Structure 1
Amino acid sequence: MGRAIVADGSAQAKDADPREAFYEQHHRRVAAFIQRRIADPGIAEQVEQQTWAHLMRQWDTLRLPEVVLMRIAWRRIVDIYESNGRTALTLGDEILEAAVERQQLRTKSADTVDPGSTVPSRVDLQRAITALTSRQRQVLTLIGVDRLTRRQVAGLLNIGEETVKTLYGQARTAMRTSPALAGYDQQRATTQEVTR
């Protein structure tokens, strides 16, 4: 495409490369997706760079690059875990492991943090999450935490978009009604009543 001449006679630069626009639109989301699963920032950055490089090599053949992008990122994350001798990952469960690692790194670097101060709530939340089916955990994590679209989740998990919608609804209902989290709604209500 050359330069376009607009009505007033001035030159307008050609449209931005669609790859650049795609990168601008998705890079924060894919970076967060990776960083939530890999505690080491340097390794997370490497994985992100590898993900984008792999996607760009395939760019001209892709119909739904936003779906393929997340598949590539996930595959790179699995490769990192396997290269470190860790057990195979199930999408949705690895986020708990990375969160624990990140918390351990923070605790080592901050003397003022009481590591036991948030343990009960974390344990209760982990109990509620582990009570979900594997697919519900995956969908809840990918939509609720990673903010992926239903289409992206469906492509990543190889299931239909309606199935994603159903699983997400089931997971949210299960979390709302989980006995492990029963006292937390009462605590929040009491706090709201006090502040009124």
Structure 2
Amino acid sequence: MPTIRNAVLDAVLAALPIAIVYFSGWAFLSSYLAEFGIDATQAVVPTATVLTYAVKPISSWQFGVWLAIAVFLLALRWRKWPRPWPGTITVPAATLAMLTLVLLLVWAAKDGARANAERVWQGHKSITIAHLKQDVLPDERRKYYNRCVEERRLRQIIGLADTLFLLCRSSTQPGHHGVMFVINKDREIVYSAERKRHVEME
């Protein structure tokens, strides 16, 4: 029985870092997309992209504080334990530690997402131009998009394998108002939506 319990514990500990990294990336990505009114569950996001976005929450000061405290507490108890990862770790203590970690990662993800969205609204992200498929009778949406291209007001929100999300910042209120364009792999505008950003005035 102890052997089975130890094997299960080893498997959990081996999978835990991957789960934490994936959760961090998804927390950041979903918070970032939500800043533009995009439901992350409706976007096809490759696992590699999710893992890439995990860097910000994991490199945050919130995660650093949690890690420092965890290492400190482990160091205090190290000599009392018969082995590095003993079965004497109580379930409540482990649950509390994981709950604290999850809350801190969500906090860090939201902070990082807000900062990233701010860069888009302020025009600090790259100017990305998707050349649309030729259309004999362009509609008003395409005309507006082409005007955004000519005036270099397009900023990339995120580029996925099959979808590109772009924000056309307003010419009069670039940091507060814009139109989001969603373009598919066939270089067609799937839909566009007005976006307003509510910022507290000083």
Fold match (TM-score > 0.5): no
TM-score, structure 2 length as denominator?
0.30
Larger Rg: 2
Structure with the largest fraction of helix: 1
Structure with the largest fraction of strand: 2
